[in-house]
Structure 1
Amino acid sequence: MTRRNAPVENASVLGDAFSMQQGVFADKSLLDVGHVPAPDHIVARNEEIRRLATALNPALTGGAPSNAFLYGKTGTGKSLCARYATTRIVEAAAENGVDVGRVIVDCSQDDTETRAVRATVRGLNDAEETGVVVPETGLGRSRYYGLLWEVLDARFDVALVVLDEIDCLDDTEYLMQLSRAAEAGKLDRCSVGVVGISNKIKYRNRLEERVKSSLQEREIVFTPYDREALREIIRSRLSAFDDDVVGEDVVSKCACLAAEEHGDARKAINLLRHAGELAASDGSDQLTADHVLDAKNVAERDRMRELIAGGTVQQKATLLAVTSLALVEKTRTFKTPEVYAAYEDICAETGLETLSKRRVHDLLREWEFLEVLEITRTGGGRARGSYLQHRLLEDPSLVRSAFDQSGRFAGVGFASGGTTTTWSNI
């Protein structure tokens, strides 16, 4: 009988969790990651938009636009500005009687040459106008290329192909084909301009010389947003809340935390959203700076837990080595021999196979790619050569908490300065 009645009791306890949260949000969708703000809410990117528009400007009169690559960390407005600038070009060209097409290809999804070509032609085609049918599957790469050239010449004077997360493409041959289509005689009427978007500033170094020579692209770098820009971005989303829910102290706290850590507008908006959810869940009718701090801690812990959960056992062991040193030594920067010694102790205690120094170095580089570590080469002074330093970018207590929740290395100990320290007691 107790078990049968338990759901009724739980229902009363959980009722609030499944009811609408009033008194905080007016339109929560304005805080969604995919929400595209109005043009007058694009903050601190006038110069980048101007440079991109200049590169694409020949399209306004049917000329061949310059190719452009946008670089910068996630959340710095690259995709937003690319969408805005290319949309304006299409609209302004139409006023001049010039047909400009625009397609956005997500290369994180369409990550092969064939998929990228197919996504491009399907995005630009209008079967009723061209009479061309582009199937989702069943055609080879060369046939998709043939359909692309056919559609472009049939519909447009100029086509702008925006390749978002271009570094995810497994082959650069597609860039070569797009940039040389007219020169190679594939197109009679249409000109093509490529706008590449990447989080990796060194992506261009991966391109073959023949591709670089063909593209001749203009590079536009998006630096992280500063505090004032983030403050304006956050203010532009306040209509997501009811009147008088968010004060200037909350706006400043969100902007300050985001500017100090990453300059990422998406993360700043996410932080505001999570703070609002915390306020709603505890029955508050107003956001406070404490809600923002609590939301930050929850978000960081969840993010780190997901990163650790997604790593292999050996990856986790290397990060645990750096984290354990940081907790004991009260510093976050260590030389490779120190990290490897801590790693060896962890392997000995857990029965894990000990990898070579070179392989451990590769695993540490993977944490660097995820922006958990920073690895730099430092000169050791005259006659001492150079060495690598590994700096933990995250709060070691936060990483420890994430490891505690993962459970894989609970109770693991290691030696530091001759003293064995137990992980669970740190």
Structure 2
Amino acid sequence: MWAAEDPIFERKQLLEIDHIPNEDRIIGRDEEIENIVSSLHPAISGGSPRNTLIYGKTGTGKSLVTKHVTRSAQRYAGNQGVEMGRAYVDCTQSSTETRVVVNLARELNNPERTGISIPETGLSTDAYYHRLWQILDELYDVVIVILDEIDKLQENEVLMQLSRAGEAGKVDSCNLGIIAISNKISFKKSLDERVLSSLQDTEFIFPPYDANQLRAIMENRKDAFRPGVITDDVIPLCAAYAAQEHGDARKALDILRNAGELAKNSDAEKVTDQHVKDARDKADMDRFAALLKDQPTQAKAPILALAALVESKNEAEFSSNEIYEVYRYITNQLDMDTLSQRRMNDRLNEAVFLDILGRTERVVGRGRGRGVTPYLYHLLEDSDIVQAVILRDSRFEPLGGQPLIP
């Protein structure tokens, strides 16, 4: 019943997304590592690190390099007798100011030394800030705060508070630095002048990996598998697929790991190109399912309507008017409440904010009389994957096998 050992994987953790490898396994990011090291260098002796904004598409190594460099800096500072703290917040999971402050305080706190408790709920935002400042001053000489996917924050007040903590006298003995990471190079345009003035940041852009770098990344982690298990065409094919997705190393490793899982589950002796092809489809579905995981039924219905239109009309973009007609048909078929078009539009725009959908404007006319049409929405994933994921939701099961267009 239980296998004595895994016939496919030897060190599977090398392919896990959250795994932080040694520096010799980080490929094609030497310049980026040096840039972040330069920003943090004052911190290793207890000085003030420079606030840093990092941009780049998904899977370009932003989080990986940042975690690696800050972990290394913390270790080096400790050897110099400097108490350095580091805290990581995923803003897709903690998208409000209060949740960010709570998570920072809980991660940085040592209640046995501070005597401070950080309850999950029950305090005002100001009270959480007050306890965070106490923790920083009591425990640390310097702290690095990493705010990943910062564009998902619902407000930017936390940036103001953290960046001005020393200047405003909130902390006395601790120097605080921020590393903010975003997939959107336009993120900074969303910040008001007060935040920009207090942040005074350094900016770095992480370019996409090319196919050769992707191959090198996977070759460098090939020992995740048992010797001789993967065929010669597996890694080049994984790299080719990921290169098509803007050089996404995360996707490359996802596909490679899933290909191994599929081979293992089918009792295959080797991982082949067919396992890679099947794993690519699975990786796409898993990623999209993760995006939709916490979305309510009323948010999924207009996304399904758009997917149905894309498949039926063989066009890429549709207006909210067109989507609403199909949305209304779907909700009637499921005996669901039908939202007003304005409220459905709000759901579509929330999906754009969460990078589930894309949105464009189309300017019509010329000169002084030109205007802008309503937004046009498009999928960021293949329509068949969108439909397959949403129709797996038990609320949408009655639509299985039925036409989605009235």
**TM-score bracket relative to the smaller structure:** 0.7 to 0.9
Q: For the pair shown, which has the larger CA radius of gyration, 1 or 2?
A: 1
> What is the letter of the counterpart of residue 377 of structure 2?
H
Equivalence for 2:345:
361
- Aligned with 1:397 (options 343, 366, 384): 384
Q: CA deviation at 1:304?
A: 4.5
Amino acid in structure 2 at the alignment position of 1:99? V
Q: Deviations over 1:96-137 (max 9, x none)?
A: x46251311325466665664555455556678xx5323233
Deviations 1:323-361 (A, max 9, x none): 222223233333444333433444555555544433333
Q: In the alignment, what sits opposite 1:101?
A: 84
Unaligned 5+ segments in structure 1 are: 1-14, 421-426
* 1:216 matched to 2:208: no
Task: Decide whether aligned partners of structure 1 residues 346 and 132 sit closer, same or farther in structure 2, where only a CA change above 3 A counts.
Answer: closer
What does residue 278 of structure 1 align with? 262
Listed one character per residue, the Cα deviations across residues 272-325 of structure 1 (whole Å, up to 9, x for unaligned) are 111111112222222111100011223334555566675444433323332222
Structure 2-normalised TM-score?
0.81
Q: Spell out the pairing of 1:1-400 with structure 2 (5 A cutoff).
A: 15=1, 19=3, 22-93=6-77, 97=80, 99-108=82-91, 116-117=100-101, 119-120=103-104, 123-124=107-108, 131-137=113-119, 148-149=132-133, 152-153=136-137, 156-167=140-151, 172-304=156-288, 310-347=294-331, 352-380=336-364, 382=366, 385-387=371-373, 388-400=375-387
**Residue aligned with 2:176, SS:** strand
Superposed CA deviations along residues 344-390 of structure 1, whole A, max 9, x for unmatched, are 44455555554443333333333434544322112345578443333
Paired position in structure 1 for 2:399: 409
- Aligned equivalents of 1:189, 1:113: Cα separation in 2: 24
Task: Look up the equivalent residue of 1:105 and give its one-letter code.
Answer: Y
The answer to whether the Cα contact below 8 Å between 1:317 and 1:346 also exists between their aligned partners in 2 is yes
For residue 88 of structure 2, what is the amino acid of its counterpart? V
CA contact (8 A) 1:349 1:412 kept: no
CA RMSD in angstroms comes to: 3.5
- Taking a change above 3 Å as real, the CA distance of residues 207 and 100 of structure 1, as seen in their structure-2 partners, is farther
Find the aligned partners of 2:142 and 2:404 in 1 and give their Cα distance: 63
**Aligned residue pairs, count:** 397
Sequence identity of aligned pairs in percent? 41
Kept after mapping to 2: 8 A contact 1:105/1:116: no
**Uncovered stretches (5+) of structure 2, i.e. residues with no partner:** none
> What is the alpha-carbon distance in structure 1 between the residues aligned to residue 116 and residue 56 of structure 2?
34
Offset from partner CA, 1:392-417 (integer Å, 9 cap, x none): 333333334445544142365466xx
